[in-house]
Amino acid sequence: MTRLTRAEQQRRTHDHLLAAGRQVFLRRGFLAATVEEIAADAGYTRGAVYKHFGGKEGLWLAIVEADADTHLAALGAALGTATTRDGLIAVLAGVSPADEDAARWSAAAAEVLAATAQQPEVASLVAAVQQRHDDAVVALLTEHSRRLGLTPALPLHQAVVMLGALGIGLALRQTVAPAPDPAAIVTYVLGTVFPAQHHSPAGARSRT
């Protein structure tokens, strides 16, 4: 067998901890998850988590950033297939709190917000990661709403914040008092954000 270099070993440990952290956070939520459990699932000691990520909060942020490019690429590709307003809404409503893993992850994200609210340094890091993601989503929605001649009912940076908050809120509700059709709620709200266009002039521009 080829012997791994130190850098390769470090990368493998890093990746194993990311994968284990993702599964433990989904399974246990952020608050109940422990560094010891994550390390054990990955096959390492708790010291490995602290060495690579500084703790549970750092691991969460690393997972979010590692997944961001993949998620944004998938969203961009899906939006590119939309040829109508209804198609765009269907894409955006496609991952909703009705998806069990998405609901669990959104619930864990809400726990992160609550847990870090009184930790200014960590909160600023969480906010920066969220802002980068929101900015990328706004850019995608601007591109595709313009392509489809849609004029959003409110600035897209506000819409993205609202939709994110709605997703987290619905996810939390699903854990205690499930709504009968959360996807329908998301679809309705998206319909108000992207209202049907009547005799929209060519080249209509969306507000951002």
Task: Give the Cβ contact number of residue 111 at 10 Å.
Answer: 19
pLDDT in tens, 90-99: 999 885 555 6
How far apart CA 170 and CA 98 sit, in angstroms, is 9
Average pLDDT of the chain to the nearest whole number:
88
The DSSP secondary-structure symbol of 95 reads S
Q: Give DSSP secondary structure letters for 20-79.
A: HHHHHHHHHHHHH--HHHHHHHHTS-HHHHHHHHSSHHHHHHHHHHHHHHHHHHHHHHHH
How far apart CA 95 and CA 182 sit, in angstroms, is 11
Q: How confident is the model at residue 102 (pLDDT cuts 50, 70, 90)?
A: confident
Name the E strands within 19-71. Answer: none
**Percent residues over pLDDT 70 in the chain:** 92
Which residue do the tokens 């989503």 mark?
137
Q: How confident is the model at residue 204 (pLDDT cuts 50, 70, 90)?
A: very low
Positions of CATH 1.10.10.60 in the chain: 1-54
* CA-based nearest residue to 144, from 193, 105, 199: 193
Average pLDDT over residues 117-135: 90
Q: How confident is the model at residue 201 (pLDDT cuts 50, 70, 90)?
A: very low
Is CATH 1.10.357 what the domain over 63-208 is classified as, yes or no? yes
Positions of CATH 1.10.357 in the chain: 63-208
**3.30.470.30, 3.40.50.300, 2.170.190.11, 1.10.10.60: CATH of 1-54:** 1.10.10.60
Average pLDDT over residues 4-20: 91
Q: pTM for this structure?
A: 0.81
Q: For residue 27, how many C-alpha atoms fall within 13 Å in the half-sphere facing its CB?
A: 11
